[in-house]
Amino acid sequence: MSASLEQRRNLVTAIPGPRSRELMTRKKSAVAQGVGTTMPVFAVEAGGGVVKDVDGNSFIDLGSGIAVTTVGNSAPRVVDAVREQVEAFTHTCFMITPYEGYVAVAEALNRLTPGDHDKRSALFNSGAEAVENAVKIARAHTKKQAVVAFDHAYHGRTNLTMAMTAKSMPYKSGFGPFSPEVYRAPLSYPYRDEKNVDGAAAARRAITYIEKQVGAANLAAVVIEPIQGEGGFIVPAEGFLPAIAEWCTANNVVFIADEVQSGFARTGEMFACEHDGVVPDLIVTAKGIAGGLPLSAVTGRAEMMDAAHVSGLGGTYGGNPIACAAALATIETIEADGLVERARQIERLMLDRLHRLQADDDRLGDVRGRGAMIAVEIVKSGTDEPDPLLTNAIAAASHLAGVIVLTCGTYGNVLRFLPPLAISDELLNEGLDVVAAAFKDNA
Ligand code: PLZ
């Protein structure tokens, strides 16, 4: 981020402006339509809490490029580290001539992830690729095959992770057949579960499904997002995650936490499973790990990680030196700038404002989340019926008014907020003012 990037919302053209419109025309004739875009504007610069477009409009960023630029876009330490690395060398392939940065990232992950047991890490490029590798490792360790994922889960767009992802449109429809031996269990969803289904009861329900439909004897791994991302920022009821993790341990099943979206200070802990006191066997990270450079990882118990034979894990670019340099600078930034605590401050500010909004407007059916991973589930007034049309209208109105917000949820009715932790309170409040006005305008 250049020092000249002003930290304010400023619209100087209609949205989209003429240059963005021109680029969108080029996009339509050059890029496959399967690659969609949420906003109609093209970025040229970003940093702090702002994204600037080609027409000179500045947007408040409440999305962080889907929870990636947690330390801020072009965060100063990341820029310096990347510049230094790119001038030294760009790639040798860690599997050919290794380099220190990869090892240092593995050491940092082993130190930062929950549990003080002996750990190992392996690095990859995308979240989906890391999830796939976590499953490979669990299968190699247990010598079993089946995998359980949950309702509303999102784990990626590759063949195995499409099978693990719950939502058909847009992620799976027409792209089958999907990987076999993937089963789905019911989640704990406090807003939509019957009132008597607490965390323990939801865990019993899930475990019964798993035991009856799969059988522990066949099950290699249970994969779960401690707070679901694309599925709607669903925070399971207290006790749910520990009960599932305990059952896994008792049954020689690898408990894999997919913290691709929830990890790296996002939720007011370094990792979301820490809120529940859960120590996963394997933890999958990506997104926030490297300040915007493509990097992902699997970290876990040494004896499980080492179950895969030599050269059984890897990939040409996995743990690319530039991405590793960015990750080390990102971790340094989180620690030196107290960003875990910053995420907690953001939680207080956002929940307070959204709860006040909810008190006057029952279309905000549920306000939930942790840290800087906060959402509103939008319903039709007087009911709990999902209202995806209103959700899209609120998001679109916010976009036109200069605020980047995203939607999610199986029913498409969740407005989610993932601000960079580098955002100011002032911008955050202004962004929420815009969203509040959008609710009023859509009364
Ligand atoms: N696991 C929990 O959130 C990525 C994807 C959006 P990749 N989520 C955003 C989209 O439309 O593609 C994600 C996630 C969780 C895995 C992934 C996959 O990570 O880096 O996108 O492969």
How much distance in Å is there from the Cα of 156 to the middle of ligand 1?
A: 5
Q: Residue whose CA is closest, atom 19 of ligand 1?
A: 127
- pLDDT tens for residues 287-336? 999 999 999 999 999 999 999 999 999 999 999 999 999 999 999 999 99
Spatial distance between the Cα atoms of 177 and 163, rounded to a whole number of angstroms? 9
320 lines ligand 1 (CB under 6 A): no
228 lines ligand 1 (CB under 6 A): no
Residue 1 has pLDDT above 80, yes or no: no
132 lines ligand 1 (CB under 6 A): no
288 lines ligand 1 (CB under 6 A): no
> Which atom of ligand 1 lies nearest, measured to the CA of 294?
20
How much distance in Å is there from the Cα of 161 to the middle of ligand 1?
A: 10
Q: What confidence score (pLDDT) does residue 36 get?
A: 97
Q: Confirm if 155 and 224 have CB atoms less than 8 A apart.
A: no
Q: What are phi and psi of 402, to 5 degrees?
A: 95, 30
Residue 174 has pLDDT above 80, yes or no: yes
259 lines ligand 1 (CB under 6 A): no
How much distance in Å is there from the Cα of 109 to the middle of ligand 1?
A: 20
ω into 177 cis (within 30 of 0): yes
Q: Give all strands (DSSP E) within 206-290, no chain letters.
A: 219-224, 254-258, 282-285
Mean pLDDT of 37-46: 97
229 lines ligand 1 (CB under 6 A): yes
Residue 386 carries which side chain, given as an amino acid letter?
P
Q: Residue whose CA is closest, atom 10 of ligand 1?
A: 156
Spatial distance between the Cα atoms of 92 and 267, rounded to a whole number of angstroms? 35
Q: What confidence score (pLDDT) does residue 103 get?
A: 99
- pLDDT tens for residues 75-125? 999 999 999 999 999 999 999 999 999 999 999 999 999 999 999 999 999
pLDDT-based confidence at 200, cuts 50/70/90? very high
Q: What confidence score (pLDDT) does residue 2 get?
A: 74
> Which atom of ligand 1 lies nearest, measured to the CA of 230?
3
The percentage of the chain sitting over the pLDDT mark of 70, rounded to a whole number, equals: 100
Spatial distance between the Cα atoms of 142 and 252, rounded to a whole number of angstroms? 7
Question: Taking Cα atoms as reference points, which of 297, 267, 266, 296 lies closest to residue 282?
Answer: 297
**H-run or E-run covering 66:** helix 64-67
Determine how many CB atoms are found less than 10 A away from the CB of residue 194: 7
Angle at 325 between CA 324 and CA 329, to 5 degrees: 115
- pLDDT tens for residues 237-293? 999 999 999 999 999 999 999 999 999 999 999 999 999 999 999 999 999 999 999
Mean pLDDT of 404-410: 98
131 lines ligand 1 (CB under 6 A): yes
Residue 177 has pLDDT above 90, yes or no: yes
55 lines ligand 1 (CB under 6 A): no
9 lines ligand 1 (CB under 6 A): no
Spatial distance between the Cα atoms of 2 and 17, rounded to a whole number of angstroms? 23
Give Cβ neighbours of residue 166 (< 8 Å, ≥ 6 apart).
149, 150, 151, 152, 153, 154, 184, 231, 410
Q: What confidence score (pLDDT) does residue 45 get?
A: 98
CA-based end-to-end distance of the chain: 38
The mean pLDDT of the chain is 98
3-state SS of 345-402 is HHHHHHHHHHHHHHHHCCCEEEEEEECCEEEEEEECCCCCCECHHHHHHHHHHHHHCC
> Which atom of ligand 1 lies nearest, measured to the CA of 158?
22
Q: Residue whose CA is closest, atom 1 of ligand 1?
A: 155
Q: Residue whose CA is closest, atom 21 of ligand 1?
A: 127
Residue 309 carries which side chain, given as an amino acid letter?
H
Q: What is the DSSP string of 309-323?
A: PTTSS--SSTT-HHH
Q: What is the DSSP string of 101-143?
A: HHHHHHHHHHHHSS--S-EEEEEESSHHHHHHHHHHHHHHHHS
How much distance in Å is there from the Cα of 172 to the middle of ligand 1?
A: 14
Determine how many CB atoms are found less than 10 A away from the CB of residue 429: 14
Q: Model's pTM, two decimal places? A: 0.98
How much distance in Å is there from the Cα of 154 to the middle of ligand 1?
A: 7
Residue 3 has pLDDT above 90, yes or no: no
Q: Confirm if 242 and 278 have CB atoms less than 8 A apart.
A: yes
Q: What confidence score (pLDDT) does residue 4 get?
A: 83
Q: Residue whose CA is closest, atom 16 of ligand 1?
A: 155
- pLDDT tens for residues 52-71? 999 999 999 999 999 999 99
230 lines ligand 1 (CB under 6 A): yes
Q: What is the DSSP string of 21-35?
A: HHHHHHHHHHS-TTS
Residue 165 has pLDDT above 90, yes or no: yes
Structure tokens at 75: 């965060």
- pLDDT tens for residues 329-365? 999 999 999 999 999 999 999 999 999 999 999 999 9
